[in-house]
Amino acid sequence: MPMTRSRFLLACLAATAWLGTAPAALAQAQAFPDHSIRLVVPFAPGGATDILGRALATALSHRLGQPVVVDNKPGAGTVLGAGVVAKAPADGYTLLLGANTTYTLNPALRESLPYDPLKSFTPIGLVADMGLLLVTRTDVPASNVKELAALTQSAPDKYSYSSFGVGSSVHFGGEMLKAASGMRMLHVPFNGSAPSLTALMGGQVQVAVDTIVASLPFIKAGKIKAIATLSDQRLPLLPQVPTVAESGYPGFQMGSWFALAAPAGLPAPVARKLEKALAEVMADAALRQQLVDVGLSPRWGDAQAMRARIEQELPQMRAVAARAGIQAE
């Protein structure tokens, strides 16, 4: 189509507008960051996620040349903290260390959230996985997943499993495990890992699904036994414990994972600078070992990998919730 005079004038105006804003955007990116950055961790202080957040904050501070300050905002299964970041200015000075609870489990359960897992955030990158474990009381006469499945099928009213909350990653993991193996167990939710594992050791339940971070001390003390890890790989701190997939259920995988994001609309140069800094931090051997030591598995992926993981997992978790009848409290 030939360019008319009016089309030519419009094109010139658009180019002029772009040239007017480009230097400002470039200057903003070059200056970033020029003051401290807030890293919102939507979990309480002291847990594995908090340790991860503080390790990342320290490492990113060195890379970016400005303090990165952890701001713990627990509540409503990460909804509170994620909502805060979703509404923050898209300038790179407010970041979110979210989990799959934030990006795929909450959206699978709740129609109304103060954020959209894809539209409300600019992905920066994947950070780490945290393995989930199937554990039992020491007197349960099963040493692998198939034996436990057979045991629960033979006495379906006798066995129950605990988790640290309705709609949590371990609740989803337990229901996925039941569907894959045919286990017949009642779900008993608790408000946290400590009461869940205490109930297991005290005999109120016979089985639990929990994180390696919470379970490991009791496994080492001989108070509970690990049957399998729900992860796709064996865990470095428990290399003798097989995966569920290795136990006769190929393709099975469920875990907790963590990823860094910023509010939607983050300028591309700022996003690239943050993504590059995160990649460099996650390549550091000392940081990776620090994460392994607390039960986390470093699993870096770029912004595209993070978005792809959310897009792939969200419909899967919606299907699990529908099949198992999992509903938000």
What pLDDT score does 1 carry?
A: 45
Q: Do 36-129+256-324 and 132-229 show the same overall fold?
A: yes
Is 36-129+256-324 in CATH node 3.40.190.150? yes
Fold of 132-229: D-Maltodextrin-Binding Protein; domain 2 (3.40.190)
Q: What pLDDT is attached to residue 9? A: 54
Choose among 87, 76, 63, 134: nearest CA to 278: 63
Please list the rounded mean pLDDT of every run of 10 residues in the chain (329 residues): 54 56 55 96 86 95 97 91 97 97 95 95 97 97 97 93 93 96 95 93 96 94 98 94 97 96 98 98 96 92 98 96 88
Instruction: Give the domain ranges of the chain.
Output: 36-129+256-324, 132-229
Measuring CA to CA, how many Å separate 114 from each of 107, 110, 287?
A: 10, 10, 33
